[in-house]
Amino acid sequence: MKTLITLSTVATCLVLGGCARDKVMHFGAGAGVSGVVKEYTGSTAKGCAAALAVGVAKEAYDSKYGGTVEAADAIATGAGCLTWELKF
């Protein structure tokens, strides 16, 4: 439950801070990937690496198939892993 609240809070701050909806979606995807990997491996580092890898893979896909490539998208996806480490 704390994770859901944290993710919602971070996403809301990103939106209110002028961050594009696309970046919020990347952030959420990174949080999800990171959470699943961390749950199965017990490793925060592996969760963050997986989130970043998914972000880079998405941008590589965009590059090959005509999408818009943005380094900020990969960074936003990788940053999603931080939600699993925030504690209140």
Q: What is the pLDDT of residues 40-63, one digit of tens each?
A: 999 989 998 999 999 999 999 989
Rounded to two decimals, the pTM is 0.72
pLDDT band at 73 (very low <50, low <70, confident <90, very high): confident
Please compute the mean of the pLDDT values over residues 21-49 and round it to a whole number: 89
DSSP 3-48: HHHHHHHHHHHHHHTT--HHHHHHHHHHHHHHHHHHHHH--HHHHH
Please list, in sequence order, all residues whose beta carbon lies within 8 angstroms of the beta carbon of residue 12, skipping any fewer than 6 positions away. Answer: none
Is 17 a residue whose pLDDT tops 60? no
Place of tokens 């005509």: 66
Domain that holds residue 66: 2-84
For residue 12, what pLDDT is reported? 57
Structural domain tally of the chain? Answer: 1
Place of tokens 């609240």: 5
Q: Are 15 and 21 in contact (CB under 8 A)?
A: yes
